[in-house]
Amino acid sequence: MSFYPPRRTLMGPGPSDVNPRITNAMARPTIGHLDPAFIELMEQLKGLLQYAFQTDNALTLPVSAPGSAGMETCFVNLMQPGDKAIICQNGVFGGRMKENVTRLGGEAVMVEDEWGTAVDLDKVRQAIAEHPDARVLAFVHAETSTGVRSDAEALCRLASEAGMLSIMDTVTGLGGIEVAVDAWGADAVYSGSQKCLSCTPGLSPVTISERAAEVIRSRTHPVQSWFLDLNLVMGYWGGGESGGGKRAYHHTAPINALYGLHEALTILKEEGLEASFARHRLNHEALKAGLEAIGLSLVVAEADRLPQLNLVSVPEAVDEAAVRSMLLNDYNLEIGAGLGALAGKVWRIGLMGYASNPTNVRLCLGALQHALVAQGLNVNGAVRAADAVYTAAGI
C-alpha cells in the first residue's frame, strides 16, 4: 500500500515545514543530470547559494546529501592524516566535528564550553597559542542542539590571524540569521536544506574560499572520500571558473530535490535576507513573550540566542515527554526534546523558514498552555502576550 504521512506542523529542531511552492517544484518532470536545461539550473543554484551565503566564492554548491555530509566534505578536503584541528564544542555537533577529524587520521584539540553557552573566545585564543601548528579552527555558528549562536565573525578572524583555515557549521543558521561568509573571512562553510530554507532534507549547501580551494587543489594525499572529493565534484558542478566548460560526470544528482532547493532559494531572494532575518526575530520575540506569560523561560542568554531555535526550560513538576506527546497527538504539532546532558530538561522549539509565522507561534503557545494545565499548572495568557508583540509591530 502507498504511504500517506500525517499532516504535522513542524516546530522542532528540523526539518521545518516545507513551503508548498517547494513541494510543487519537486513534482516537476525529471530530466537528465547532464541535460542542458539542468546544467542551467545548476548555474542558477550556485548564484542563489552565493546570495544566501553572501559570498563570491566560485566553489559554492549543494552536496548531494544531508548537512552531515557537508560537514564531512569540509573536513576530508581540507585536512590530511596527521593534521591538527582545534575544535570548539558547546553542543552535539562540535562532537561530530571531532569524529570527522579522528576518523581521517587527524588530531583534534578540543575547546569545550558548557552546553547552552556560546564559544568562549578567550579559550580559543589560548588553544591557538598552545597549538600554533593547527591547520584548522572549526566551530558551530548555530548550534542545533542548544539554540546558541556563537560569534562567527570573531572566530573566523582568530583563525585567519593565526594562519589557520576556518570550518563553520551553519546548518541551522542559513536564511534565518546573518551568515556573511566573505565579510567574515570564513574558509569552509556548510549548511542544510531542511532548516531555515524550508526545503526537504537531503542536501547540504557548501561554500569554500579561494584560499581553502587552493589547499584542496594542492593536496599531497588523496581525499579520504571519493564521493566527497571536491576536486572531482567540481568537474561536474564547476565546468571551469566561468561555469561554461564541459561537465564531467561524477554522480547522478538528486534532480527533483535540487528543483526544490532552487525554489527555496528563490523564495528567500524574493523576501530578501534582511526581511527574513527580521521575520525570524519578530516571531521569536512573540514566542518568548508567550512563554514567559505562562512561567516558562529560555535557557540561553539573550545575546547568544538563535531566534529560529528556542531552548525552553521545563518546570520541575512537568513531564516533558508527556507534553510533547500531547502536542503531537492532539495538535499534530512537533517540538523537540533535549539532547545529551539536556535530555528531559528542555524543549527545543523551532521557528525556521516557512514555519516561522504568527499562526504557528499562536498554535504552539496555545497547545503548550493546554498541556501544562493538563498537568496541574494554573497558567493562561500565552497567546494574548504574543499578540501584544505582533500588535506593537503593526501585524
Query: Which pLDDT belongs to residue 185?
Result: 98
Confidence grade of residue 84 (pLDDT, cut at 50, 70, 90): very high
3-state secondary structure of 391: helix
> What tens digit of pLDDT does each residue of 318-350 get?
999 999 999 999 999 999 999 988 999 999 999
CA–CA distance, 346 with 337 (Å, rounded to integer): 6
User: What would the mean pLDDT of 357-377 be, rounded to a whole number?
Assistant: 98
Say which residues have a Cβ less than 8 Å from residue 287's Cβ, sequence separation at least 6.
Answer: 310, 349, 351, 361, 364, 365, 386
Is 241's pLDDT higher than 70? Answer: no
User: What would the mean pLDDT of 85-98 be, rounded to a whole number?
Assistant: 97
User: What would the mean pLDDT of 103-126 be, rounded to a whole number?
Assistant: 98
Is 243's pLDDT higher than 60? Answer: no
Query: Which pLDDT belongs to residue 242?
Result: 41
Query: Which pLDDT belongs to residue 245?
Result: 58
> By C-alpha distance, which of 173, 93, 178, 186 is closest to 141?
173
> What tens digit of pLDDT does each residue of 205-239 get?
999 999 999 999 999 999 999 999 999 998 888 74
> What tens digit of pLDDT does each residue of 24-36 get?
999 999 999 989 9
Is 271's pLDDT higher than 60? Answer: yes
Q: Mean pLDDT of all residues in the chain? A: 96
Is 240's pLDDT higher than 60? Answer: no
Spell out the domains of the chain, with CATH numbers in brackets. Answer: 18-270 (3.40.640.10), 272-392 (3.90.1150.10)
* Angle at alpha carbon of residue 41, lines to 47 and 19, rounded to 5°: 85
User: What would the mean pLDDT of 354-372 be, rounded to a whole number?
Assistant: 98
Name 313's bridge partners: 346
CA–CA distance, 45 with 263 (Å, rounded to integer): 9
